[in-house]
Each structure stands twice: as structure tokens, then as C-alpha cells.
Amino acid sequence: MAFMKNYLLPILGVFLACYYYSANEEFRPEMLQGKKVIVTGASKGIGKEMAYHLAKMGAHVMVTARSEEDLKKIVSHCLEYGAASAHYIAGTMENMTFAEQFVVEAGKIMGGLDMLILNHITNTSMQLFNGDIPHVRKVMEVNYLSYVVMAMAAFPMLKKSNGSIVVVSSVAGKIANPLIAPYSASKFALDGFFSSIRKEYSLAKVNVSITLCILGLINTDSAMKAAAGILNLDPSPKEDCALEIIKGGALRQEEVYYVQSVWSRLLLRNLGRNILEFLNLRWYNMDKFINKEELL
């Protein structure tokens, strides 16, 4: 009872207050004007729509994916739409050397970096898990490991600019569903890694924001193809989804929920996890890690 009175109730109050009053700042498209932004997986789908939104907001846009022909067209459209600059570097995120060098090269071309939007995934079909271990490894490397590699390569630039990392994830990265085990694992991994890193940045007073985006079904060609005849769910529009991701990143929100049902949005937020994460910090003595710049 004493525990409830001393800890639980005040903490619950604080969290509920945060839930309902966190939309303190309004998004303005000018927030992205002149900002240097990387978008991965930008040859189609949500990534392409994000590149176009950023171009219209006057950002410097750097896109990547494997299909060079598609990227070329997207870059020229970005310039038409008003991008401060637009470039592409094509390559595969199966190659961690490419992932790292791409970020470094992008930083050289744009002269720094304000926002890293990690969005690409290896193609996935919906099926029962059949023991295909090489596929699990590929999914973890492309969907997860390359994100970590790129975030670390971008860190020095993001620290300098008080920048942002935006990680595109899925409802399948918060709750379990059948037919997408390897994909789901890679998205859960992103949550584990980037949410942990966010705690470290917060404790070490590193002003780089991390936004994890939890998306429901979106009407991209690949998702529609994968879900056809399996998922009876209305998809949301990719253009609007792309805009909400950019808004969340610009407002430095910890998480973005782009799902249709209000109930899902509320339950996915997982108040229990938030309370435990907050309380667990009590057991840590962080002194020897804080203010040691070389550790970050």
C-alpha cells in the first residue's frame, strides 16, 4: 500500500499527464527547410513519399536503395518540387561497408546531417516460418544491423547538429502476429536497441533525438502484394503516413503511432513498460559512464 502511495500513483499521474499533454509544439514545414536529411529505402513506397515531402519543404535530400534508375528519377522530381539539393547513392544494405560509407559520403556531399531516416527493409512475403535460417540472417542484417551501422556512422554529425534518428518500424515490432516471424524479430530488435540508446543519450545529455515509428498496414505496392488474400484490413495512405513520420522526427517525439484504431494506439503505448523502465533507472549507478565523452 505504501509503495502504491509513494511511487505508483505519482508516477502514473506523471505518465498520464505526459500522454495527454505531450503535443506541446506544432509542426511547421519550415522546420525542415535547409535541413540535411538521409532517407533509406527511398526508391518506392513510404520512403519515396518521404523524399517528396522533404523536397517540398525545402530540405537537402539524400536518397538510397538498390535501383539506380528509380533513384535518378526521384532525385530529379525532388529538385522540381523545391529541394535545396537532391542526391542519390545506390547500393545494397546487405553490405555493411556500403551502409557505413554511404552515410559518411552523404555527410560530405551535404556538408553535415540533421536527420537520418532509416526505412528500408528486405522484401518479405507472408508465410509460415519454414526454418529458412539464411533468410532470418538476411532479414536481421538488412532490417536491423544496417540500421545500427548507419546510426553509428551518423552519430558524430548528428551530435554536432543536435540532429535526429528516425527509425521506421511496425506494429509487428511491438506485438506478435503469425506469418512474419523473421520480419517481426528484426523490428523488435530495432525497438530494443534504439530505445536503449535513447536512455543512454538522455542520461549522458546527448541531444540526438530518436523517433521509433509504429506503422499499421500502409498501401504500398509491396505490402499490398504481400497481404493480398491474407489480411482483411483497410490500409492507410502512404503519402499521409510519410508526412506523419517526418512530423514525429521534426518534433523529436520518442514514438509515432500511425495506426487506425484509437484503442490500438492507446494499448500499444504500453504504460507498464514505461513505468518499469522509469523505475529501473533507480538501480543503476551511471557515474562512471556520464561525462566521459569518449564513451559516446
Ligand X SMILES: *[C@@H]1O[C@H](CO)[C@@H](O)[C@H](O)[C@H]1NC(C)=O
Ligand Y SMILES: NC(=O)c1ccc[n+]([C@@H]2O[C@H](COP(=O)([O-])OP(=O)(O)OC[C@H]3O[C@@H](n4cnc5c(N)ncnc54)[C@H](OP(=O)(O)O)[C@@H]3O)[C@@H](O)[C@H]2O)c1
Catalytic residue set: 183
Could you tell me which of 124, 129, 226, 219 has the C-alpha nearest to residue 179?
Answer: 129
Q: For the chain, first and last CA: distance in Å?
A: 41
Q: Which residue has the cell 509513494?
A: 6
Which residues, 78 to 137, sit near ligand Y by CB under 6 A? 92-94, 119-122
β partners of residue 100: none
Backbone angles phi, psi at 6, to 5 degrees: -80, -35
Residue 67 near which of ligand X, ligand Y, none (CB within 5-8 Å, type-dependent): ligand Y
- Torsion 4-174-188-133 (CA) sign: positive
Task: Draw the binding track, 255-274, toward ligand Y (x: CB under 6 A; -: no contact).
Answer: --------------------
Type of residue at 110? M
Residues 83/62, Cβ–Cβ less than 8 Å: no
Residue 98 near which of ligand Y, ligand X, none (CB within 5-8 Å, type-dependent): ligand X
Q: How far is CA 188 from the centre of its chain?
A: 12
Select the residue interacting with ligand Y from 139, 157, 170, 185 (CB under 6 A). Answer: 170
Residue 177 near which of ligand Y, ligand X, none (CB within 5-8 Å, type-dependent): none
Under the criterion CB under 6 A, does residue 243 sit at the interface with ligand Y? no
Shortest distance, position 194 Cβ to ligand Y, whole Å: 13
Under the criterion CB under 6 A, does residue 180 sit at the interface with ligand Y? no
Shortest distance, position 189 Cβ to ligand Y, whole Å: 12
Shortest distance, position 209 Cβ to ligand Y, whole Å: 19
Shortest distance, position 25 Cβ to ligand X, whole Å: 9
| DSSP code per residue over 219-257 | --HHHHHHHTTT---PPBPHHHHHHHHHHHHHTT-SEEE
Residue 75 near which of ligand X, ligand Y, none (CB within 5-8 Å, type-dependent): none
Residues 166/249, Cβ–Cβ less than 8 Å: yes
Binding residues for ligand Y, rule: CB under 6 A, are: 41-47, 65-67, 70, 92-94, 119-122, 142, 168, 170, 215, 217-218, 220, 222-223
